[in-house]
Amino acid sequence: MAYARRTLTNLRIDTWRARRREVLLPHEDLPPGEHASEAHAHAERDVLVRALLQLSPRRRRVVVLRYLMDLSEREVAEDLDVSIGTVKSTASRGLDQLRRLLADDSPSLRPSKES
């Protein structure tokens, strides 16, 4: 009885998942205004780089290697010659600091209008 119940539950969940598939469109097929302009994308990247520069060198290296270069925790640990636990805690603290910096929208992160 339990096996049959579990089978029916799994089938129902599969049905929900099949109906809720995310449909991704190519950049060209998006309606106007749905995607950021190239200038806006550059401005966002500039803000991110400025926020990263405010992190300590160690936190910055861990965050960049882990999330921007998409390395595993083990690869980052081997690259920096630290333990996996150090990578996890440093990445967590670095992301927390980045969130606070980006949420503040501080003037030091805003791109200059000199160009």
First to last CA, the chain: 71
pLDDT of residue 115: 43
Taking only the tens place, the pLDDT of each residue in 90-113 is 999 999 999 999 887 666 566 555
* Ranges 3-7, 40-44, 85-89, 96-100: which has the least confidence: 40-44
For the chain, what are the domain ranges?
44-105
* Burial classification of residue 87, based on how many CB atoms lie within 10 Å of its CB (0-12 exposed, 13-18 middle, 19 or more buried): buried
Which of the listed CATH numbers 1.10.3720.10, 3.40.50.2000, 3.40.50.620, 1.10.10.10 matches domain 44-105?
A: 1.10.10.10
- More confident of the two residues 30 and 100: 100
Which of 11-15, 28-32, 80-84 is modeled with the greatest confidence? 80-84
pLDDT of residue 64: 92
